[in-house]
Amino acid sequence: MKISVCGKGGSGKSTLVSLLANQAQARGLKTLVVDSDESNSGLFRMLGFDKPPIPLMELVGGKRKLKEKLSEKSIFGETQIFTRDIPSEYIQKSDGLMLVGIGKILHSLEGCACPMGVLSREFLRKLKLTEKEIALIDMEAGVEHFGRGVDESIDSVLLVVEPSFESIEVAEKVKSLASGIHKNVRAVLNKVASDGIASRLTEQLKAKQIEIIGSIPNDATVFEACLEGKALKEGKALESAGKILDSLLSS
Ligand SMILES: Nc1ncnc2c1ncn2[C@@H]1O[C@H](COP(=O)(O)OP(=O)(O)OP(=O)(O)O)[C@@H](O)[C@H]1O
Ligand SMILES: [Mg+2]
Protein backbone atom coordinates (compact mmCIF):
# COMPACT_ATOMS: atom_id res chain seq x y z
CA MET A 1 0.00 0.00 0.00
CA LYS A 2 1.31 3.43 -0.97
CA ILE A 3 -0.07 6.17 1.25
CA SER A 4 0.62 9.83 0.59
CA VAL A 5 0.34 12.40 3.35
CA CYS A 6 -0.51 15.89 2.21
CA GLY A 7 -1.96 19.15 3.51
CA LYS A 8 -1.22 22.76 4.26
CA GLY A 9 2.32 23.82 5.17
CA GLY A 10 3.03 23.17 8.84
CA SER A 11 -0.18 21.17 9.40
CA GLY A 12 1.79 18.13 10.59
CA LYS A 13 2.48 16.00 7.49
CA SER A 14 6.00 14.99 8.51
CA THR A 15 4.84 14.38 12.07
CA LEU A 16 2.05 12.09 10.89
CA VAL A 17 4.39 10.24 8.51
CA SER A 18 6.84 9.65 11.39
CA LEU A 19 4.12 8.50 13.77
CA LEU A 20 2.57 6.15 11.19
CA ALA A 21 6.02 4.81 10.28
CA ASN A 22 6.72 4.08 13.93
CA GLN A 23 3.42 2.22 14.28
CA ALA A 24 3.83 0.32 11.01
CA GLN A 25 7.28 -0.80 12.15
CA ALA A 26 5.79 -1.93 15.49
CA ARG A 27 3.31 -4.07 13.52
CA GLY A 28 6.15 -5.86 11.75
CA LEU A 29 5.71 -4.13 8.40
CA LYS A 30 8.72 -3.13 6.34
CA THR A 31 8.11 0.58 6.08
CA LEU A 32 9.52 2.76 3.33
CA VAL A 33 9.27 6.48 3.98
CA VAL A 34 9.64 8.59 0.85
CA ASP A 35 10.68 12.18 1.49
CA SER A 36 9.05 13.99 -1.40
CA ASP A 37 9.33 17.47 0.13
CA GLU A 38 11.95 19.51 -1.71
CA SER A 39 12.24 22.16 1.02
CA ASN A 40 12.41 20.77 4.56
CA SER A 41 15.26 18.48 5.44
CA GLY A 42 14.64 17.24 9.00
CA LEU A 43 12.51 14.13 8.35
CA PHE A 44 15.46 11.78 8.89
CA ARG A 45 15.78 13.03 12.47
CA MET A 46 12.09 12.54 13.17
CA LEU A 47 12.56 8.92 12.08
CA GLY A 48 15.58 8.42 14.33
CA PHE A 49 18.27 8.32 11.62
CA ASP A 50 21.51 10.23 12.20
CA LYS A 51 21.81 11.40 8.59
CA PRO A 52 19.63 11.53 5.47
CA PRO A 53 20.17 9.14 2.55
CA ILE A 54 21.78 10.59 -0.59
CA PRO A 55 18.84 11.92 -2.61
CA LEU A 56 17.63 9.81 -5.55
CA MET A 57 18.12 12.93 -7.68
CA GLU A 58 21.88 12.30 -7.35
CA LEU A 59 21.40 8.73 -8.56
CA VAL A 60 20.12 10.11 -11.86
CA GLY A 61 22.92 12.66 -12.10
CA GLY A 62 21.12 15.76 -10.82
CA LYS A 63 18.27 17.92 -12.05
CA ARG A 64 19.83 18.90 -15.39
CA LYS A 65 20.48 15.35 -16.51
CA LEU A 66 17.18 13.95 -15.29
CA LYS A 67 15.50 13.46 -18.66
CA GLU A 68 18.31 11.54 -20.34
CA LYS A 69 19.21 9.57 -17.22
CA LEU A 70 15.69 8.31 -16.50
CA SER A 71 15.93 6.00 -19.48
CA GLU A 72 19.54 4.94 -18.84
CA LYS A 73 20.69 1.88 -16.97
CA SER A 74 19.88 2.49 -13.34
CA ILE A 75 16.96 1.43 -11.17
CA PHE A 76 14.98 4.09 -13.04
CA GLY A 77 15.59 2.31 -16.35
CA GLU A 78 13.72 -0.76 -15.02
CA THR A 79 9.95 -1.16 -15.20
CA GLN A 80 9.69 -1.92 -11.46
CA ILE A 81 11.73 -0.76 -8.48
CA PHE A 82 11.84 -3.01 -5.42
CA THR A 83 13.19 -1.55 -2.16
CA ARG A 84 15.95 -4.19 -2.24
CA ASP A 85 17.19 -2.80 -5.59
CA ILE A 86 17.87 0.71 -4.25
CA PRO A 87 21.65 1.14 -3.81
CA SER A 88 22.54 1.38 -0.11
CA GLU A 89 23.82 5.00 -0.21
CA TYR A 90 20.38 6.10 -1.38
CA ILE A 91 18.35 4.36 1.32
CA GLN A 92 18.66 4.54 5.09
CA LYS A 93 17.62 1.36 6.90
CA SER A 94 17.07 0.42 10.51
CA ASP A 95 14.92 -2.40 11.93
CA GLY A 96 12.47 -2.56 9.05
CA LEU A 97 12.30 1.21 8.68
CA MET A 98 13.63 2.65 5.41
CA LEU A 99 13.99 6.22 4.15
CA VAL A 100 14.64 7.57 0.68
CA GLY A 101 14.68 11.22 -0.34
CA ILE A 102 13.87 12.58 -3.78
CA GLY A 103 15.94 15.78 -3.58
CA LYS A 104 16.12 19.23 -2.04
CA ILE A 105 16.47 22.72 -3.37
CA LEU A 106 19.90 23.67 -2.00
CA HIS A 107 21.08 26.74 -3.89
CA SER A 108 19.55 30.06 -4.80
CA LEU A 109 18.85 30.45 -8.53
CA GLU A 110 19.16 26.69 -9.12
CA GLY A 111 15.81 26.65 -10.91
CA CYS A 112 12.39 25.30 -10.09
CA ALA A 113 11.51 22.08 -8.30
CA CYS A 114 9.67 20.51 -11.25
CA PRO A 115 12.37 17.86 -11.82
CA MET A 116 11.81 16.69 -8.22
CA GLY A 117 8.14 16.26 -9.08
CA VAL A 118 9.00 14.23 -12.18
CA LEU A 119 11.36 12.01 -10.21
CA SER A 120 8.85 11.54 -7.37
CA ARG A 121 6.18 10.55 -9.86
CA GLU A 122 8.44 8.11 -11.69
CA PHE A 123 9.80 6.59 -8.49
CA LEU A 124 6.34 6.07 -6.99
CA ARG A 125 4.97 4.72 -10.26
CA LYS A 126 7.72 2.12 -10.53
CA LEU A 127 7.95 1.31 -6.83
CA LYS A 128 6.78 -2.27 -6.32
CA LEU A 129 5.99 -3.20 -2.74
CA THR A 130 5.95 -6.75 -1.48
CA GLU A 131 3.16 -8.10 0.71
CA LYS A 132 4.65 -7.04 4.03
CA GLU A 133 5.73 -3.59 2.85
CA ILE A 134 4.09 -0.21 3.15
CA ALA A 135 5.19 3.15 1.74
CA LEU A 136 4.45 6.48 3.39
CA ILE A 137 5.08 9.53 1.28
CA ASP A 138 5.74 12.90 2.92
CA MET A 139 4.48 15.31 0.28
CA GLU A 140 5.46 18.91 -0.24
CA ALA A 141 3.04 21.41 1.32
CA GLY A 142 0.01 22.48 -0.67
CA VAL A 143 -1.41 21.02 -3.87
CA GLU A 144 1.25 21.39 -6.57
CA HIS A 145 2.08 17.67 -6.39
CA PHE A 146 -1.35 16.95 -7.91
CA GLY A 147 -0.46 19.15 -10.87
CA ARG A 148 2.80 17.27 -11.26
CA GLY A 149 1.08 13.86 -11.23
CA VAL A 150 3.00 12.65 -8.17
CA ASP A 151 -0.18 11.15 -6.67
CA GLU A 152 -1.15 9.07 -9.70
CA SER A 153 0.11 5.75 -8.35
CA ILE A 154 -0.92 6.33 -4.73
CA ASP A 155 -3.43 3.90 -3.15
CA SER A 156 -4.59 6.18 -0.38
CA VAL A 157 -4.34 9.94 0.06
CA LEU A 158 -4.21 11.10 3.68
CA LEU A 159 -4.93 14.72 4.27
CA VAL A 160 -3.70 16.40 7.45
CA VAL A 161 -6.01 19.15 8.67
CA GLU A 162 -5.10 21.44 11.55
CA PRO A 163 -7.60 23.82 13.11
CA SER A 164 -7.20 26.75 10.75
CA PHE A 165 -9.26 28.32 8.00
CA GLU A 166 -6.41 27.93 5.48
CA SER A 167 -6.01 24.27 6.31
CA ILE A 168 -9.69 23.64 5.57
CA GLU A 169 -9.38 25.57 2.32
CA VAL A 170 -6.41 23.41 1.26
CA ALA A 171 -8.44 20.33 2.28
CA GLU A 172 -11.24 21.28 -0.06
CA LYS A 173 -8.81 21.85 -2.89
CA VAL A 174 -7.07 18.51 -2.24
CA LYS A 175 -10.41 16.69 -2.26
CA SER A 176 -11.34 18.22 -5.60
CA LEU A 177 -7.93 17.59 -7.23
CA ALA A 178 -7.78 14.03 -5.90
CA SER A 179 -11.24 13.18 -7.18
CA GLY A 180 -10.07 14.46 -10.58
CA ILE A 181 -7.63 11.53 -10.66
CA HIS A 182 -10.14 9.16 -8.99
CA LYS A 183 -8.35 9.04 -5.64
CA ASN A 184 -10.14 8.71 -2.38
CA VAL A 185 -9.10 11.24 0.27
CA ARG A 186 -9.35 10.72 4.00
CA ALA A 187 -8.59 13.41 6.53
CA VAL A 188 -6.71 13.23 9.80
CA LEU A 189 -7.40 16.04 12.23
CA ASN A 190 -4.19 17.22 13.86
CA LYS A 191 -3.25 19.52 16.76
CA VAL A 192 -6.74 19.05 18.18
CA ALA A 193 -6.73 20.86 21.51
CA SER A 194 -10.27 20.08 22.71
CA ASP A 195 -13.46 18.16 21.93
CA GLY A 196 -15.05 21.45 20.93
CA ILE A 197 -12.36 22.08 18.29
CA ALA A 198 -12.67 18.48 17.07
CA SER A 199 -16.41 18.78 16.54
CA ARG A 200 -16.12 22.14 14.78
CA LEU A 201 -13.47 20.79 12.41
CA THR A 202 -15.51 17.62 11.85
CA GLU A 203 -18.61 19.64 11.03
CA GLN A 204 -16.76 21.79 8.50
CA LEU A 205 -15.10 18.86 6.77
CA LYS A 206 -18.33 16.84 6.67
CA ALA A 207 -20.04 19.80 4.99
CA LYS A 208 -17.42 19.44 2.27
CA GLN A 209 -17.97 15.64 2.07
CA ILE A 210 -14.48 14.93 3.38
CA GLU A 211 -14.26 11.66 5.29
CA ILE A 212 -12.34 11.76 8.58
CA ILE A 213 -10.30 8.72 9.50
CA GLY A 214 -8.87 9.84 12.83
CA SER A 215 -7.66 12.61 15.03
CA ILE A 216 -4.36 13.45 16.72
CA PRO A 217 -4.37 15.61 19.84
CA ASN A 218 -2.25 18.66 20.35
CA ASP A 219 0.54 16.88 22.18
CA ALA A 220 3.44 18.76 23.83
CA THR A 221 5.71 15.71 23.43
CA VAL A 222 5.38 16.02 19.63
CA PHE A 223 6.40 19.63 19.74
CA GLU A 224 9.34 18.93 22.05
CA ALA A 225 10.60 16.01 19.95
CA CYS A 226 10.39 18.25 16.88
CA LEU A 227 12.22 21.07 18.65
CA GLU A 228 15.02 18.74 19.71
CA GLY A 229 15.16 16.97 16.33
CA LYS A 230 14.43 13.59 17.90
CA ALA A 231 12.14 10.68 17.05
CA LEU A 232 8.96 10.42 19.08
CA LYS A 233 8.76 7.14 20.96
CA GLU A 234 5.63 7.49 23.08
CA GLY A 235 2.63 9.68 23.87
CA LYS A 236 -0.98 10.26 22.96
CA ALA A 237 -0.20 11.33 19.39
CA LEU A 238 1.61 8.05 18.75
CA GLU A 239 -1.32 6.06 20.15
CA SER A 240 -3.77 7.93 17.94
CA ALA A 241 -1.58 7.26 14.90
CA GLY A 242 -1.74 3.54 15.72
CA LYS A 243 -5.53 3.61 15.43
CA ILE A 244 -5.33 5.52 12.14
CA LEU A 245 -2.90 2.97 10.71
CA ASP A 246 -5.12 0.04 11.77
CA SER A 247 -8.07 1.66 10.11
CA LEU A 248 -6.04 2.24 6.92
CA LEU A 249 -4.77 -1.33 6.86
CA SER A 250 -8.24 -2.79 7.36
CA SER A 251 -9.87 -0.69 4.62
N1 LIG B 1 -0.17 16.81 17.19
C2 LIG B 1 0.72 17.79 17.40
N3 LIG B 1 0.86 18.34 18.64
C4 LIG B 1 1.76 19.34 18.86
N5 LIG B 1 2.55 19.85 17.94
C6 LIG B 1 2.47 19.34 16.68
C7 LIG B 1 1.55 18.29 16.36
N8 LIG B 1 1.69 18.00 15.04
C9 LIG B 1 2.65 18.81 14.58
N10 LIG B 1 3.11 19.63 15.55
C11 LIG B 1 4.14 20.67 15.42
O12 LIG B 1 3.81 21.50 14.32
C13 LIG B 1 4.98 21.87 13.60
C14 LIG B 1 4.82 21.46 12.15
O15 LIG B 1 4.77 20.04 12.05
P16 LIG B 1 5.36 19.27 10.81
O17 LIG B 1 6.76 19.68 10.54
O18 LIG B 1 5.06 17.84 10.97
O19 LIG B 1 4.42 19.90 9.67
P20 LIG B 1 4.54 19.73 8.09
O21 LIG B 1 3.15 19.75 7.57
O22 LIG B 1 5.38 18.57 7.74
O23 LIG B 1 5.28 21.09 7.70
P24 LIG B 1 5.92 21.46 6.27
O25 LIG B 1 4.76 21.87 5.40
O26 LIG B 1 6.81 22.62 6.59
O27 LIG B 1 6.62 20.27 5.75
C28 LIG B 1 6.14 21.18 14.31
O29 LIG B 1 6.74 22.09 15.19
C30 LIG B 1 5.49 20.05 15.08
O31 LIG B 1 6.16 19.70 16.25
MG1 LIG C 1 7.13 18.45 6.56
Half-sphere exposure (Cβ direction) of 55: Cα atoms closer than 13 Å: 22
Between these two residues, 47 and 41, which has the higher pLDDT value?
Answer: 47
Assess contact for 168 and 118: CB atoms under 8 A: no
Assess contact for 140 and 36: CB atoms under 8 A: yes
The protein residue whose alpha carbon is closest to atom 26 in ligand 1 is 10
Three-state DSSP class for 101? strand
pLDDT of residue 117 exceeding 90: no
Pocket test for ligand 1, best of 15, 36, 223 (most atoms within 8 A of CB): 15
The protein residue whose alpha carbon is closest to atom 15 in ligand 1 is 12
pLDDT of residue 107 exceeding 80: no
pLDDT of residue 181 exceeding 80: yes
Of 18-32, 97-111, 179-193, 197-211, which range is least confident? Answer: 97-111
Question: What is the Cα–Cα distance from 177 to 239, expressed in whole angstroms?
Answer: 30
CATH of 2-250, picked from 3.40.50.300, 1.20.1300.10, 3.20.20.140, 3.40.1440.60, is 3.40.50.300
Question: What is the Cα–Cα distance from 148 to 14, expressed in whole angstroms?
Answer: 20
pLDDT at 144: 86
- Measured from CB, residues less than 6 Å from any atom of ligand 1 are 9-15, 37, 40, 141, 190-191, 216, 218-219, 222-223, 226, 237
Q: 72: pLDDT confidence band, cut at 50, 70 and 90?
A: low
